[in-house]
Structure 1
Amino acid sequence: MAPPPSTRPVDKFDARRDQLAESALKTLGELGYARTTLREIANNSTFSHGVVHYYFQDKLELVIHSVRYYKARCVTRYDSVLASALTADGLVEAFAAKLAETIREEAPMHRLWYDLRTQSMFEDQLRDAVTTIDQTLEGMIWRVVSRYAELAERDCVLEPAVAYGMLDGLFQQALLAYVGGRTEVLTALVGQVRAVMPLMLGARRDDSAR
């Protein structure tokens, strides 16, 4: 049997950039965008400042790569909820619980995301990346809302951007309260999601046909 092909140089390069992204995310999540430097990232990792500079031209390039790397994993976060949901109410319960769980387990990463979204109003390069990621997250939420409507046998009366904005607003408010020490807000978030989801739907399809 022939030996497996060796990793191509471009694959090794991308793999190292991903390793640096993993390392950078922890520092960025703790300090935020404005206070984080390439040297700070290097000091909090196993990589030297020179190595970080070799793989990334500047902090902005590293930040954009890091956030894209992280969000690429996030967009599949609710796949298990969609796959296992048998009823509309069951989907809402599982979705709301997952939203609360991700705040509890990954609050620094979500805080970084909202920090970068604000910074993108002033950084053209960052704005393009944030807009692309935001569209991906909107699509992720829309898959949940569409499946919810399907299970409820109703049509969604909102545009994808509106549904995303409603849920993202609740999520951001809960995150802000949580990082401020109000851990009970996660229970409130679950209740808010339960209340908001039905508002996105119209009449039952069989009722509207009468």
Structure 2
Amino acid sequence: MASPGPWANEYTPQGTAGRFFDDYVNWQRIQQFSDVAISGDVPKVALQLMGTSTARLFHEHVLVKEAETKEVTPWHHDDPYYGIDGMDNVSIWVPLDPIPDSVALRFIAGSHKWNKRFIPKRFKDQTAYVESAHDFVHLPTVEELDAFDVITTPVQLGDAVAFHYRTLHAAPGTAGTGVQLRRAVSFRYVGDDAVFATRPWKTSPPLEGSGLQPGDALDDPRFPIVASR
């Protein structure tokens, strides 16, 4: 946070309480991220969970909410934000603070199997990226989503939460909870069937202009193979 990268975001308006910050794709300049993402046990776990012959690091993503942050993480799934296609993937979300139920991630069980892809929303104001897009639909309302089988995942240091890029998830702010700091790093991996793809919006991380064509394998030094069998 003291030295953010080019894609860092501040979601809390200036002059208001709290802070919601995120940043990603810094593993090449921050050794601690590289150590965990490439050399530690996390990529081995990713390989096992995906059940593929290889695991590539897609990127890491830091998410921080300080005390009295009103901004929430809206319901979404990660897949539409990314410039890749494929069902072999996993995010391994590692907390850096104990995270109680009041501010924990919420997931809709089984939503990665809905065979639906939802138009992404901006975290800053929760507006949709576009009005319509081929092969994508708008999310149900918050009330409709809350009626599904929602799983809450409080965690302690040493825990991790693993989920598919198409799993719908959300998280509250910290305002009124007494939580002083909620920090996590999500390490994201892809498996054998991952290919480059385009979206009707700018992807995150932005892969446009990389020389990759839709359908190309992610055979690129930015996405190193970190585990195999």
TM-score range, shorter-chain basis? Answer: under 0.3
Q: Could you tell me the TM-score, scaled by structure 1's length?
A: 0.23
Structure of higher CA gyration radius: 1
